[in-house]
């Protein structure tokens, strides 16, 4: 016979540690006056190409830097270093996403108060990064025209946690018969009201508008409309 059991009430967030650290990071970034933007997408959606172009455009007027997460290799950091801004690779080993402590560790030795924009490129993955707050002010979710219009419906959680959606590789839209209206319907279905930018890092299409959106974050403090995790 099983012994009778009872419940002792505990109300604690499972990711308490990450949440506390992310909150501390967000406060530090606010005090340092650095606008932190993270990028999430599936592998190959064009995060690094987009980031390279954003860094080149923003560095004219701002002090910019980037952290890039990958399971292995520092190819992305080396690629971004061509934009001649500080970059650092976070190699996660077998971990499929970035966590707040990885960001905090990577920032050791960096004076974030000497930056205007810090970008954090998450590991290419449309599932796991959704769960971890990194202390960013704005989360961009990218998907490319080659991935299909229903990507948001397949990965609703990550799209729901994002503040802004960026449809990439627009230069290929015609070739792959991308249905932009259908893609927007999918996006609005999983994340009503989400702001969307159609861009091509290759041709520059839509990049000025996206840059303008990021510039609008400066001086406004935390412009995120991302909801506090419950």
Partner 1 sequence: MHELSIALNILDVAAEEAERRSIGCVEAVHIKLGPLSGIVKSALLSAFDLAREHSALPEARLVVEDMPIVIYCKHCQAEQPVESIQELVCSVCRTPSNHVVGGREMEITALEITALEIADPEINA
DSSP 163: S
Sequence-ordered alpha helix ranges (H) in 72-126:
75-80, 100-106
**For partner 1, the closer CB: 5 or 174:** 5
Query: CB 2 → partner 1: shortest distance, Å?
Result: 9
Q: 224's torsion region: left (phi>0), alpha (psi -120 to 50) or beta?
A: beta
Structure tokens at 76: 């992305």
Closest CB 153 distance from partner 1, rounded Å: 5
In the bound complex, what is the minimum distance in angstroms from residue 66's beta carbon to partner 1?
Answer: 23
C-beta closer to partner 1: residue 4 or 109: 4
Largest CA distance in the chain: 74
Q: In terms of CB distance, is 16 or 174 closer to partner 1?
A: 16
Task: Put the strands of the sheet holding 35-40 in their side by side order.
Answer: 87-91, 64-70, 117-121, 35-40, 138-144, 164-168, 195-198
Q: Which is nearer to partner 1, 96 or 172 (CB)?
A: 96
Smallest gap from residue 40 Cβ to partner 1 (A): 11
How near is the Cβ of 94 to partner 1 at its closest, in Å?
10
- Please give the structure tokens belonging to residue 15: 């990711």
Helix (H) or strand (E) holding 65: strand 64-70
Nearest to 68 by CA among 84, 45, 92: 92
* Residue 125 vs 200, nearer CB to partner 1: 125
Question: For binding to partner 1 (CB under 8 A), which residues are involved?
Answer: 3-17, 95-97, 127-128, 130-131, 153, 156-158, 160-161, 188-194, 227, 229-230
């Amino acid at each position: 016979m099983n012994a009778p059991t009872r419940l002792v009430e505990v109300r604690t967030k499972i990711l308490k540690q990450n949440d506390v650290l992310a909150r501390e990071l967000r406060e530090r970034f606010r005090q340092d006056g650095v606008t932190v933007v993270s990028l999430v997408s599936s592998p190959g959606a064009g995060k690094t190409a987009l980031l390279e172009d954003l860094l080149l455009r923003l560095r004219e007027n701002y002090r910019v830097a980037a952290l890039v997460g990958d399971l292995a290799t520092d190819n992305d950091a080396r690629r971004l270093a061509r934009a001649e801004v500080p970059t650092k690779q976070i190699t996660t080993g077998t971990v499929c996403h970035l966590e707040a402590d990885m960001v905090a560790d990577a920032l050791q030795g960096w004076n974030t108060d000497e930056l205007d924009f810090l970008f954090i490129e998450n590991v290419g993955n449309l599932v796991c990064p959704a769960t971890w707050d990194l202390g960013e002010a704005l989360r961009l979710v990218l998907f490319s025209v080659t991935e299909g219009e229903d990507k948001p419906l397949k990965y609703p959680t990550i799209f729901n946690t994002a503040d802004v959606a960026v449809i990439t590789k627009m230069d290929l839209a015609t070739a792959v018969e991308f249905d932009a209206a259908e893609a927007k319907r999918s996006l609005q279905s999983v994340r009503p009201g989400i702001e969307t930018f159609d861009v091509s890092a290759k041709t520059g299409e839509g990049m000025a508008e996206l840059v303008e959106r990021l510039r609008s974050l400066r001086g406004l403090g935390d412009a995120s409309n991302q909801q506090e995790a419950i």
